């Protein structure tokens, strides 16, 4: 099985988390990361629902932020159940999830809280976006059901022919490296008055969506950051 993290952002249901651990075990997944859980992921209810997936619960990585959860990942898909004001291409799990497949990369599937889903800011850490199609009369899915559907698609991929090593993927910039770039970019754009403090968050969301589609390598990222540093030098010495 290739390396895919299942990331839950602020889940509130102990039984949901237990059910997710169970379906992960069913589908050959073992890397569960939980961002700021709003319940006890090791409660009796969670363990009852996990059945033979208790080991997944016990080894779950608990972190305080989504960037922390994404450290070391090169690719990330976020799930959403609704249209956004920032233009967002929504794909089905079957369309998007094969993009996570790679023998030498670490990828992530991100799921939001049961009550609100992922915010626009949280979505901005992903490069692609999945919406699970369902009966329009009642399209709302339980969190564990959504994870189960995506986990099934991952398992089907793992049963295909062995993954070929792709050296071109080895040098992809990690998401945490991209995050450093975005902070650098925002700082420079504020200095040259392309961004203003009251509009920066919204414009940066759009810029992130554009840049995230390019799959930058570390070398390409270093080149772009070199340009930013030269701009900063010119501002300081003009």
> Could you give the number of structural domains in the chain?
2
Of 167, 187, 209, the last residue of a domain is 167
Q: Are residues 148 and 206 in the same domain?
A: no
Q: Are residues 146 and 207 in the same domain?
A: no
Domain of 209, CATH number, reads 1.10.8.590
The highest-confidence range among 8-12, 72-76, 113-117, 130-134, by mean pLDDT, is 8-12
The DSSP bridge pattern shows strands 107-111 and 75-79 to be parallel
Of 143, 167, 191, the last residue of a domain is 167
Q: Are residues 148 and 184 in the same domain?
A: no
Q: Are residues 161 and 144 in the same domain?
A: yes
Q: Are residues 159 and 189 in the same domain?
A: no
Q: Are residues 99 and 160 in the same domain?
A: yes
Query: What does the alpha-carbon distance between residue 235 and residue 187 come to, in Å, rounded to a whole number?
Result: 12
The DSSP bridge pattern shows strands 107-111 and 32-35 to be unpaired
Q: Are residues 125 and 37 in the same domain?
A: yes
Q: According to the 3-state scheme, what is the secondary structure of the chain?
A: CCCEEEEEECCCCHHHHHHHHHHHHHCCCCCEEEECCCCCCCCHHHHHHHHHHHHHHHCCEEECCHHHHCCCCCEEEEECCCCCCCCCCEECHHHHHHHHCCCCCCEEEEECCCCCCCCHHHHCCCCEEECCCCCCCCCCCCHHHHHHHHHHHHHHHHCCCCCCCCHHHCCECCHHHHHHHHHHHHHHHHHCCCCCCCCHHHHHHHHHHHHHCCCCEHHHHHHHHHHHHHHHHHHHHC
- Sheet with 107-111, strands from edge to edge, namely 61-63, 32-35, 4-9, 107-111, 75-79, 128-130, 90-91
Model pLDDT for residues 175-212, shown as the tens digit of each residue? 989 999 999 999 999 999 999 988 898 899 889 988 88
28 lies in which domain range? Answer: 4-167
pLDDT, position 2: 64
Of 119, 134, 167, the last residue of a domain is 167
Mean pLDDT of 208-225: 89
Q: Are residues 16 and 80 in the same domain?
A: yes
Domain of 126, CATH number, reads 3.40.1280.10
Q: Are residues 40 and 92 in the same domain?
A: yes
Please name the residues in contact with 223: beta carbons below 8 A apart, sequence gap of 6 or more: none
Q: Are residues 47 and 141 in the same domain?
A: yes
Model pLDDT for residues 17-42, shown as the tens digit of each residue? 999 999 999 999 999 999 999 999 99
pLDDT, position 107: 92
Query: What does the alpha-carbon distance between residue 30 and residue 151 come to, in Å, rounded to a whole number?
Result: 11
Mean pLDDT of 44-63: 95
Q: Are residues 177 and 138 in the same domain?
A: no
pTM: 0.85
Q: Are residues 28 and 69 in the same domain?
A: yes
């Amino acid at each position: 099985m290739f390396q895919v993290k299942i990331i839950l952002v602020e889940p509130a249901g102990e039984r949901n988390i237990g059910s997710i651990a169970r379906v992960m075990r069913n589908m050959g997944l073992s890397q569960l990361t939980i961002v700021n859980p709003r319940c006890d992921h090791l409660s009796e209810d969670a363990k009852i629902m996990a059945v033979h997936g208790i080991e997944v619960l016990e080894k779950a990585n608990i972190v305080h932020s989504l960037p922390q959860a994404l450290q070391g990942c090169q690719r990330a898909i976020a799930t959403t159940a609704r249209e956004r004001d920032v233009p967002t291409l929504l794909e089905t799990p079957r369309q998007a999830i094969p993009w996570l497949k790679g023998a030498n990369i670490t990828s992530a599937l991100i799921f939001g809280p049961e009550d609100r889903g992922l915010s626009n800011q949280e979505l901005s850490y992903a490069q692609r976006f999945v919406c699970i199609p369902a009966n329009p009369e009642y399209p709302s899915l339980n969190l564990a059901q959504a994870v189960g559907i995506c986990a099934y698609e991952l398992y089907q991929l793992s049963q295909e022919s062995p993954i070929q090593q792709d050296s071109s993927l080895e040098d992809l910039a990690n998401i945490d490296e991209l995050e450093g770039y975005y902070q650098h970019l925002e700082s420079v754009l504020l200095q040259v008055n392309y961004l203003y403090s009251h509009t920066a968050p919204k414009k940066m969301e759009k810029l992130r969506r554009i840049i995230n589609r390019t799959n930058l390598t570390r070398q390409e990222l270093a080149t772009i950051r070199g340009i930013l540093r030269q701009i900063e030098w010119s501002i300081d010495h003009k």
